[in-house]
Structure 1
Amino acid sequence: LTMIVDGHTGIEHTFPVEIVYDDVLQMWKPEPGRGLASVGVGYTPTLSVAYGGLSGEYWWYQHDELWKHPRLRGFVPPEVVIPRARRRMMAPDEDYNHFLCARICEQAIGLGIPVQPGGHGQMQGINTHWEIWMMTHGGMSNLEALYCGTHNGARHLGLEGDLGSIEPGKLADLIVIERGKDPAKQIRDTEAIQWTIANGRVFDAKSMAERMSDGTLGPAPQFFWMAEGYSPSRVPPAVGGCHGCGHPNACGWMRQ
């Protein structure tokens, strides 16, 4: 609350409670004609952390077999994905705190407070999708969550003149969803991306190969962990390593 009083532009991470009451909401509510207060102090809840209890990140590890996810396998080193995703802890859904914390997101947008997804070093790439999906766990509609993940994020950073929506004069930074998928109906379809367009350049989302002007794809990038003999450890190839070192000669199952 002191951040709101002091005039911060945003609150990062969740309030560690289920809901907030009128004393907080009246202080937080945007007030037209009062400078920064007319815009509102933005809320970036970072539900994958969700202060005050078991965080949302682990819910996804529990419910999805992320070590099999084709794009995580293609774009993130296996020694990052597998230690977190393969050996998972389990808990009842009611123990996960993000379901409760996400309710404040719905309260905030009802007051006109901009809410947008954040991150805190959780799983690369897919974490932004998690954040958008978890907003619906607190009562947001799919369209509200999508608005938070597009327009509100750009607005919070002061970039709404260039990003956040498809309009004449804005940068061509957007994604194209696969035919037959619709995140407005099924929120998890946000990850069914066919093309990523970055400042007008078109990339195949499955390989990150650029689509050229003649319609062909350029070469897909090769990442450092794909190099022959790469190992994140200092274990020599002739020496057996532990199950967590990621050395390709010691832990072939990580490369399968």
Structure 2
Amino acid sequence: TNFDPYSEDLTSYESGEMTMTGELVGPRWLKSGQVVHGVKGRTAGVYHPLASLDDARNVLKRRKALGPSILKSYKLSTRAQRQRLLQAAREYDFMVDGEGAGQFYTNIGMILDGHTNLEHNLPVATYYDDLQQLIAASDVSMTPTLIVTFGELFGENYIYENEDSWSQDKVKAFIPDVNNAYNPITGDSGTPLHVRCMHSIHVSDEIYDIGFRSVGRSLTKLAKAGATVNVGSHGQVSGLAMYWEMLLFAESGMEPMEILRAATINGAKTYGLDHQLGSITPGKLADLIVLDEDPTEDIRNANSVRYTMVNGRLYDSHTMNEIGNYDRPRSKFYWEMKPTNGIDWKSTWSGE
């Protein structure tokens, strides 16, 4: 299951429904639709001033008609605006994800006021005891995205510095480009993964120790205390960044089984779907991932996916062909249908 907290309304609902009917091949898609944004200059109709409670109720009426059950609160400039949105959300049975956008005290207000989940880490390296107690008592879920760490160098820079993901067969076959917008080195917003690797920065390991690892250690302590901590990829590399986030948690000292919980049942619990998803239990929906290696021994084995089942439909992860009850070769991806003038770029840079 993929949760997208910043998507286009109608496009995402349409795509999610087509995936469930089998018209499109992809993960189960949970989405928030358009964000509720507080910056006036923001385009695409996401700006909502929320000058009154009725303003917030109007937002919820429209979203209720569209059918989701989650909103994302993003850069609402005052606590009063956020409280109006939360009150309206309670009236319409919606959850509200909050992004503090790197502002510590905005995050604190979000915790106090009752947001369902906090996206990104609070922009401090260490969560001291008072903050730990507040988070635990509030029952808010945390999706820290160590891969995009507020307040320090992103964890994804550590990955590009230390991993050679661009050489993997699945990456070559299924990942045409990655999110390059957060690269410290200025470049195009999207590039092939091997290009992003070549344009990475290298820093001493101590920088990462006071950055993403320190945040990860705080979240590991929270998880041991019973807080709900989720693995989240920020969409940096579709299909691979979740695995990267799991590696970053491991670098921070979290045990493999706890990382697996953060990547599965915790997310289902956060969004009220743990009665249907998140664990292999009789009566739950038939969403499974089959691995060749044991991730409880080494979290890197989570990257040994052989088969994926979505809603009872089984796919070979090396080909993306549907197998099992059906024999359905996949159609071409959108990037495979673009003219290349006879040039096979993949073989050029991979040395094949």
TM-score range, shorter chain: 0.7 to 0.9
For residue 114 of structure 1, give the secondary structure of its aligned residue in structure 2.
coil
The one of 143, 151, 161 equivalent to 1:44 is 143
For residue 43 of structure 1, give the secondary structure of its aligned residue in structure 2.
strand
Does 2:172 correspond to 1:172? Answer: no
Does 2:310 correspond to 1:211? Answer: no
Distance across 1 between alignment mates of 2:333 and 2:128: 49
The one of 229, 233, 237 equivalent to 1:123 is 237
Once the two structures are superposed, residues 95-133 of structure 1 have per-residue CA deviations (whole angstroms, 9 ceiling, x without a partner) of: 122111111211211221100011223111111111122
| Contact 2:125 2:151 (C-alpha < 8 Å) held by counterparts | no
Residue identity (%): 34
For residue 307 of structure 2, give the secondary structure of its aligned residue in structure 1.
strand
Once the two structures are superposed, residues 171-227 of structure 1 have per-residue CA deviations (whole angstroms, 9 ceiling, x without a partner) of: 01010001xx1110010110100000101110001111010427xx43133212223
Once the two structures are superposed, residues 129-165 of structure 1 have per-residue CA deviations (whole angstroms, 9 ceiling, x without a partner) of: 1112211222211111111111101111111011000
Distance across 1 between alignment mates of 2:280 and 2:250: 23
For residue 202 of structure 1, give the secondary structure of its aligned residue in structure 2.
strand
Letter of the structure 2 residue corresponding to residue 209 of structure 1: N
Does 2:257 correspond to 1:143? Answer: yes
- Normalised by the size of structure 1, how large is the TM-score? 0.82
CA RMSD of aligned residues (A): 2.2
Long gaps (5+) in structure 1: 31-36, 231-236, 238-246
| Contact 2:136 2:227 (C-alpha < 8 Å) held by counterparts | yes
- What is the aligned partner in structure 2 of residue 14 from structure 1? 121
Distance across 2 between alignment mates of 1:107 and 1:15: 15
Report 1 or 2 for greater relative contact order, CA contacts < 8 Å, sequence distance ≥ 6: 1
Does 2:155 correspond to 1:56? Answer: yes
For residue 146 of structure 2, give the secondary structure of its aligned residue in structure 1.
coil
For residue 60 of structure 1, give the secondary structure of its aligned residue in structure 2.
helix
- What is the aligned partner in structure 2 of residue 25 from structure 1? 132
- Normalised by the size of structure 2, how large is the TM-score? 0.61
Distance across 2 between alignment mates of 1:52 and 1:99: 12
Report the CA distance between 1:18 and its aligned residue: 2.5
For residue 184 of structure 1, give the secondary structure of its aligned residue in structure 2.
coil
Distance across 1 between alignment mates of 2:344 and 2:167: 21
Long gaps (5+) in structure 2: 1-107, 178-190
- What is the aligned partner in structure 2 of residue 162 from structure 1? 276
The one of 191, 201, 204 equivalent to 2:303 is 191
Report how many residues are paired. Answer: 229
**More strand, by proportion:** 2
The one of 199, 219, 232 equivalent to 1:87 is 199
Q: 186-195 vs 10-19, which deviates more?
A: 10-19
